[in-house]
Amino acid sequence: MFFFILKRLAQSVLVMAVVSAVSFSLFNFVGDPVNNMVGQDATREQRIEIRQQLGLDDPILTQYARFLGNMVQGDFGLSYRIKRPVDELILERLPATLELVFVSAIIALVVGISLGVYTGIRRKSWISRVILSVSLVGVSLPTFIIGIALIYLFAVHLRWLPSSGRSGTVELGWWKTSFLSVDGWRAIILPSITLSLFQLTLILRLVRAEMLEVMRTDFIKFARARGLAERAINFRHALRNTLVPVITIIGLNIGGLIAFSVITETVFQWPGTGLMFIQAVDFVDVPIMAAYLVFVALLFVLINLVVDILYFVVDPRIRLGD
């Protein structure tokens, strides 16, 4: 196991190196940063001076080494537009995104797995058929349409929930949370449902397919032949055996939740990192874009590392095997 995790860590470092190179290249290939920082009427001398201040005249490798060095220390430079350190901006926005992703992941997992198990066991009931048909909608409709539809229904028409923004936050040190007030919860419901819907349907269908697969295996038949109760067969024997593939997909998808949150945050004007990223793209605010890229990649890598470790917990064949 130690060996395995070491290997994964090495791979993670490689992934991060590649991503950092890509995000660094943003600085050089996405427009001229100086143009973005100075006004239209800046003189040539002013531009040269800024170039020198930013170190843009140094050789590429020197610039990359500096970028890497700063990055490792959490320093991504100043935002071109807001003129504040990028790491500060991200830290400010991070709680909003993480809380949103957390709530949607819980919704996707709990609802997805339970409906998946239900439709896997009661394969032929009409409820299963309805669930599966509806779940197709979740897969096929784009996130922003679902978001807008939910806003129209619950915020505009029924007026139960706020349409956008993140109100009712409570400060815990530097972390602003929505979880400690009714308003906060009301605000987070719609965006998190919107964000979770796609993952939910994916998990539902995956769990169902795996359940159907496991229910056909010999050990389930043998469990039946021993007269074990249906409950024990479905949950103790079948569900656990579906978990390894499900964990893999869930791991990838939580990363996906963070990536998709860009759209959801835009629709709901949720003040998270995704919204910040979209605004940064509008203004070609390269430091924010680069930092966001590295940050998302880091999350992906960490989540996958956790997933790999979870395999050991779930499956004794991996834990005790070769």
Partner 1 sequence: MTDLLKISGLDVEFPTRRGTVRAARNVNLTVSPGEVVGLVGESGAGKSTIGNAIIDLLEAPGRVSAGSILFEGEELRGLDENQMRRVRGDRIGMIFQDPQTSLNPLMTVGAQLIETIEKTNNIKGAEAEKRAIELLEQVGITEPKARLLAYPHQFSGGMRQRVVIALALAGDPDLIIADEPTTALDVSIQAQILDLIKRLCRERALGVIIVTHDIGVIANIADRVVVMYRGEVVETGEVAQILGAPEHEYTKSLIAAVPRADRKLDRFSSVDYIEGGTKPFKRIDIHTHWLGQSRDVRGTGKAVEIENLNLSFVLQKALLKQNRKMLQAVDNVSFTVNEGETFGLVGESGSGKSTVARLIAGLYRPDSGMIRVIGQDVVSNPKSAAARKARRALQMIFQDPYSSLNARMRVLDIVAEPIRFYGLTENEAETRRIVGDLLDHVGLGASAALRYPHEFSGGQRQRISIARALASRPRILICDEPTSALDVSVQATILNLLKDLQQELGLTMLFISHDLPVVRQMCDRIAVMRHGAICEVSDTEDLFSEPKHEYSRHLLNLMPRMDLLGEARA
Residue 253 Cβ vs partner 1, minimum distance, rounded to whole Å? 23
Residue 184 Cβ vs partner 1, minimum distance, rounded to whole Å? 39
Q: Record the tokens describing residue 149, joined without a space.
A: 């539809």
Q: Which residues bind partner 1 (CB under 8 A)?
A: 3, 217-219, 221-229, 232, 236-237, 240-241, 314-317, 320-322
Torsions phi, psi for 172 (to 5 deg): -120, 90
Residue 265 Cβ vs partner 1, minimum distance, rounded to whole Å? 39
Q: Record the tokens describing residue 31, joined without a space.
A: 């427009």
Q: Which is nearer to partner 1, 88 or 315 (CB)?
A: 315
Residue 314 Cβ vs partner 1, minimum distance, rounded to whole Å? 7
Task: DSSP for 198-247, please give it.
Answer: HHHHHHHHHHHHHHHHHHTSHHHHHHHHTT--HHIIIIIIIIHHHHHHHH
Angle CA(111)–CA(116)–CA(121) in degrees, nearest 5?
Answer: 135
Residue 257 Cβ vs partner 1, minimum distance, rounded to whole Å? 27
Strand ranges inside the chain, DSSP E: 170-172, 175-177
Residue 123 Cβ vs partner 1, minimum distance, rounded to whole Å? 10
Number of C-alpha atoms within 13 angstroms, CB side, residue 281?
Answer: 9
Q: Which is nearer to partner 1, 72 or 232 (CB)?
A: 232
Residue 214 Cβ vs partner 1, minimum distance, rounded to whole Å? 10
Residue 241 Cβ vs partner 1, minimum distance, rounded to whole Å? 6
Q: Which is nearer to partner 1, 75 or 315 (CB)?
A: 315
Q: Record the tokens describing residue 41, joined without a space.
A: 């009427």
Those residues whose C-beta lies under 8 Å from the C-beta of residue 194, and which sit 6 or more positions away, are: 143, 146, 147, 150, 264, 267, 268
Compute, in degrees rounded to 10, the torsion defined by CA atoms 208, 246, 142, 99.
130
Q: Which is nearer to partner 1, 173 or 321 (CB)?
A: 321
Q: Which is nearer to partner 1, 238 or 291 (CB)?
A: 238
Q: Which is nearer to partner 1, 39 or 321 (CB)?
A: 321
Report the residue count for the chain.
322
At 213, the amino acid letter reads: E
Q: What residues does 78 pair with on adjacent strands?
A: 85
Q: Which is nearer to partner 1, 3 or 126 (CB)?
A: 3
Alpha-carbon separation of residue 70 from 12, 75, 90, 92 (angstroms): 19, 5, 15, 19
Q: Which is nearer to partner 1, 84 or 224 (CB)?
A: 224
